[in-house]
Amino acid sequence: MHPHGFTTVWALCLATIYFFLYRWSQRNTVGPKSWPLLGASIEQLRNYERLHDWVLQYLEKADTIHVPMPFGYSYTYTANPDNVEYILKSNFSNFPKGQAFHENMEELLGDGIFNSDGDVWRQQRKTASFEFASKVLRDFSTVVFREYAQKLAFILAHFAQKHCCPIDMQDIYMRLTLDSICKIGFGVDMGTLSPLLPEVPFATSFDQANYIVTLRFIDPLWKLKRFFNIGPEALLKKSLQVIDEFTYRVIRTRREEINSTQPLKHRENARPDILSRFIMLSEEPGNKLNDKSLRDIVLNFVIAGRDTTAVTLSWFTFLLTQHPHVADLIYNELCLFEQHHTQQASTQCSTSLHDHILSFANLLSYDSVASLPYLHASLCETLRLYPAVPEDPKGILADDVLPTGVRLKKGCMVTYSPYCMGRMKALWGDDACSFNPDRWIKNNALQSVSPFKFTTFQAGPRICIGKDSAFLQLKITTAILCRFFTFKLVQDCPVKYKTMAILAMAHGLKVFAVARS
């Protein structure tokens, strides 16, 4: 045999032995098996469309696992509440969003509150927390949520009259929440929630961009694709152009309105939208907020106020189609609520469906919806099974050890998974995967659950500042819909999630709306 041929055969034999030994060394590994250099990326890509369930199958065996990635990088997934508390609270400073997360999401979210750390994050959170705590914004939000929920109910009433006409509820909910957040956050009426259901290029582009930047987390070649402007990265570039055109137009419009109508000494009384507050801050001496900063703030609040609430409403509606007895229990609670508050108001409901919707909606306020415990429990149960943000990765600043003894390597990522935690039998019992709102109620009262177990709204310093606002919109919207409609899933309509930062439905939610008598 030629010497070169012998060398080649010998090299192949050594490589085969190495690969065999490498795989054999992982025979007792609980998490996914990996390959040299490639890590577990092959298995991860193969399961990308069911990524959260893929992680769940391993976390059910061990509540914390390592997922090796190419070139020595790794993710650590955990579903242990003690570990979650350590990450989100006890040692918060060691687990920022991190450079890798920021880099992957930067073109979409920039330095906004969901993609920033340190002083930039603290400044935005301080301002946003102040706004969300204000009674002015709460009252304004209540009015807006009622207004758009009524519009949605009128659209459904129209579809209900066409008994054979299905409707994509996820699309409708996305329109509802986009209009709502733009009205509350930026003082802009988008007008997407109308009977004509117009196309919304911004919404389409935002969804595309969201999906593509999420794909980057497991695509080691995304930077190369961006450099050559090919594949999904080329589509991302086009989507970002549409997004930026919209957001910068919103910023210019609001700035012009503020400058033209508000004298400097009275600006604190300007319209109560969140963007106006940040614009006024940007004009204070020494403030470093520019239009790019405001653009990032706008997009972060869009993803916070639009997508998360819309997908929660979508999964809630889907679950009601699968559990009509829950829909009936909610309906009964709403009828009692209406009877009680109508008697207090000494008014009678109109026989017209349109007027009845209006009169019922007027009963819904920040305080009154607190007396709907079963509706609240049903929403919590939806969020447990289908959390709007299914995974929350954090960077690791320094080598660390979790309370369960798992070691973390500096520069890698650690991720807690609300999706997986909501389905863990160890946390919720043998019926963890079942939709059961009663688990949230004991002695006719709502039960509180540790935020490190029910992690939908995070916990610690980064706990969701919009939680109360989100529940307010969820309750107002679902109260009106469940009082006047039932929903039936279109036969053979596929219902599964699309792997992205938000747990959206891959094919929408096609249903028939039926008016209740």
The domain total for the chain is 2
Q: Which residue has the higher pLDDT, 100 or 295?
A: 295
Lowest mean pLDDT segment, chosen from 97-106, 211-220, 275-284: 275-284
| C-alpha 84 chain-centroid distance | 18
Instruction: Name the binding residues for heme.
Output: 464
Task: Over range 201-214, report the average pLDDT.
Answer: 86
> 51: Cβ–Cβ under 8 A, 6 or more apart, which residues?
44, 499
Per the prediction, the chain carries an average pLDDT of 86
Collapse the DSSP code of 306 into the 3-class scheme (helix H, G, I; strand E, B; otherwise coil) and give the result.
helix
Closest by alpha carbon to 327, among 142, 143, 141, 511?
A: 511
Query: 115 pLDDT exceeds 70?
Result: yes
Q: What pLDDT, in 10s, does the model give residues 51-94?
A: 999 999 999 999 999 888 776 678 899 999 999 999 999 999 99
Burial status of residue 270 (CB atoms within 10 A of its CB: 0-12, 13-18, 19 or more)? middle
* Tokens 């055109």, residue located: 245
Lowest mean pLDDT segment, chosen from 196-210, 337-351, 427-441: 337-351
Q: What is the pTM of this model?
A: 0.86
- Is there a single domain that holds both residue 120 and residue 23? no
- Is there a single domain that holds both residue 243 and residue 374? yes
Cα maximum dimension of the chain: 102
Q: Phi, psi at residue 91, to the nearest 5°?
A: -125, 45
Amino acid 361: pLDDT: 95
- Is there a single domain that holds both residue 11 and residue 125? no
- Is there a single domain that holds both residue 192 and residue 301? yes
Amino acid 82: pLDDT: 97
The DSSP string of 69-86 is: -GGG-EEEEE--HHHHHI
CA pair distance 367, 347, nearest whole angstrom? 20
Percent over 90 (pLDDT), the chain: 53
Q: Phi, psi at residue 478, to the nearest 5°?
A: -70, -30
- Is there a single domain that holds both residue 478 and residue 498? yes
- Is there a single domain that holds both residue 144 and residue 227? yes
Q: Which residue has the higher pLDDT, 364 or 131?
A: 364
* Tokens 């911004």, residue located: 202
Query: 324 pLDDT exceeds 90?
Result: yes
Q: What pLDDT, in 10s, does the model give residues 248-305?
A: 988 888 888 787 765 554 555 566 777 887 888 777 777 777 899 888 888 888 878 8
- Is there a single domain that holds both residue 92 and residue 11? no
CA pair distance 453, 451, nearest whole angstrom? 5
Q: What pLDDT, in 10s, does the model give residues 465-508?
A: 889 999 999 999 999 999 999 999 999 889 999 988 889 999 99
Amino acid 467: pLDDT: 92
CA pair distance 42, 65, nearest whole angstrom? 17
Amino acid 24: pLDDT: 45
If you ran DSSP here, which 8-state letter would residue 162 be given? S
Query: 27 pLDDT exceeds 70?
Result: no
Q: What pLDDT, in 10s, does the model give residues 45-57?
A: 888 889 999 999 9
Segment 235-242 long-range contacts (CB within 8 Å, at least 24 positions apart): 235/208, 236/107, 236/208, 236/209, 236/212, 238/205, 239/205, 239/206, 239/208, 239/209, 239/212, 240/107, 240/108, 240/205, 240/209, 242/201, 242/202, 242/204, 242/205
CA distance to 31, 37, 142, 440, per residue, from 28 (Å): 9, 20, 54, 38
- Is there a single domain that holds both residue 20 and residue 147? no
Amino acid 473: pLDDT: 97
- The domain spanning residue 306 has which CATH number? 1.10.630.10
Collapse the DSSP code of 497 into the 3-class scheme (helix H, G, I; strand E, B; otherwise coil) and give the result.
strand
The DSSP string of 17-45 is: HHHHHHHHTTTT-SS---BTTTBTHHHHH
Query: 30 pLDDT exceeds 80?
Result: no
Task: Over range 224-229, report the average pLDDT.
Answer: 94
Retrieve residue 364's tokens.
Answer: 């819904």
Closest by alpha carbon to 305, among 184, 426, 194?
A: 184
Collapse the DSSP code of 119 into the 3-class scheme (helix H, G, I; strand E, B; otherwise coil) and give the result.
helix
- Is there a single domain that holds both residue 229 and residue 249? yes
- Is there a single domain that holds both residue 91 and residue 47? yes
SS3 content of the chain, % helix, strand, coil (to 5): 60, 10, 30
Q: What pLDDT, in 10s, does the model give residues 309-319?
A: 999 999 999 99
57: containing domain: 31-515
Task: Over range 397-415, report the average pLDDT.
Answer: 94
Burial string for 141-160 (b: 16+ CB within 10 Å, else e) reads: bbebbbbbbbbbbbbbbebb
Look up residue 187 and give its amino acid: G
- Is there a single domain that holds both residue 10 and residue 37? no
Task: Over range 141-146, report the average pLDDT.
Answer: 95
If you count them, how many residues does the chain have?
Answer: 517
Q: Does an H or E element contain 237, and which?
A: helix 231-261
If you ran DSSP here, which 8-state letter would residue 412 be given? S
Query: 22 pLDDT exceeds 70?
Result: no
Instruction: Name the binding residues.
Output: 464
- Is there a single domain that holds both residue 71 and residue 23? no
Query: 350 pLDDT exceeds 90?
Result: no
Query: 212 pLDDT exceeds 70?
Result: yes
